[in-house]
Amino acid sequence: MKKLLALLTASAAAALLLAAAPTAAQAATTGTITGIGGKCIDAAAAKSDNGTAVQIYDCNGTNAQQVTIGDDQSIRILGKCLDIADRSTSNGAKVQLWDCTGSANQKWAFSNASDIVNPAADKCLDSTDQSSANGTRLQIYTCSGNANQKWTVHPGGNPPSNAGFPISEAQFNQLFPNRNATYSYQGLVNGAKKYPAFATTGDDATKKREIAAFLANVQHETGSLQYLRELNTANYPHYCDRSQSYGCPAGGDQYYGRGSLQLSWNYNYKAAGDSLGYDLLNNPDQVATNPTLAWGTGLWYWNTQSGGASTSSHNSMVQNRGFGETIRSINGGLECNGNGADSRNARINYYKNITSMLGVDPGGNLGC
């Protein structure tokens, strides 16, 4: 908790700094802005009347989602400015469209942490209740670092298409209807781009088997994407290898499982952070609050680490070694060679379910 509070304080400080010196992202730009679930900032019902609700909605390329970011710190849709209702600075104050006046409640700054901050309130643009549902109203709220306050600007038009990714957003939503909002579909797609061979290698069947294998293991590790942190708190002090020269600067009980494949141990946080460009050794809880890292750390392990297997899980799937080898890589000591039959079989059943949804044969060598 102390680490999380420190992160929040740092976020607030960054917001104040950016209020004084907006980033280059605020130069006049036209395009779209996506947030949680890959949804676009949108003017409700495509209206431009004063008081029109600003919401998130499936990206559709309409003018109601074409945003102009002005060099005057304004964000405009359909010629009107994003405006905090009643000039409020309170948590939960709604964002609407209104005639542009240049007032403080229409000023927005973009942080390097992907927040959009109203400097006067020192609060972040926020998707209400951490929801990614169509029609979710936007508001301002104390900056938390959560996925519902993270935004991506796509200059020049619509966000990039996910065509060709071997599982669609609709299929993903069907698999994980009760997931934590941090585990967004767009976060998975974006995270996969760091590892361009992931789910793009081989024929269509191989690509589908790999995404199914990854998501089946993720489903088992996270309770169908409901959990960002390891549930067994008694294990928390067990993941600090003090023989490493860098030790455990965040605290000996801070390297427990987090994220899509429940990254654990100080040396894994160090290596994953170095690969992804984040200081996870000193700030490990970022994995449970940043959607890029919640997916990215799992993808890092999947594509680069072998664990108890002879090669990475990615290689096992594209070389047709079978799903069982991914279990060996992730948790082989506890679930292979006759151990942990219930857990092993649960992973296999998840895998079979996802391959069935994707219309592909699961292949052989499912156990380990």
Active centre residues (catalytic):
221
Q: Of the candidates 127, 161, 111, 139, which has an alpha carbon nearest to the alpha carbon of residue 57?
A: 127
* Helix 204-222 × helix 341-358 angle, to 10°: 140
Q: Cα–Cα distance between 183 and 201 in angstroms, integer?
A: 24
Neighbour tally for 347: CB within 10 Å = 26
216: enclosing H helix or E strand = helix 204-222
Q: Cα–Cα distance between 284 and 114 in angstroms, integer?
A: 19
E runs forming strands in the chain: 29-34, 40-43, 54-57, 67-69, 75-77, 80-84, 95-98, 109-110, 116-118, 123-127, 138-141, 152-155
Neighbour tally for 102: CB within 10 Å = 11
CA angle in degrees (0–180, nearest 5) for 131-133-134? 135
Tokens for 154? 């796509």
Q: Of the candidates 346, 356, 306, which has an alpha carbon nearest to the alpha carbon of residue 224?
A: 346
Q: Of the candidates 59, 56, 352, which has an alpha carbon nearest to the alpha carbon of residue 189?
A: 59
Strand partners for 29: 69
Whose structure tokens read 């403080």? 104
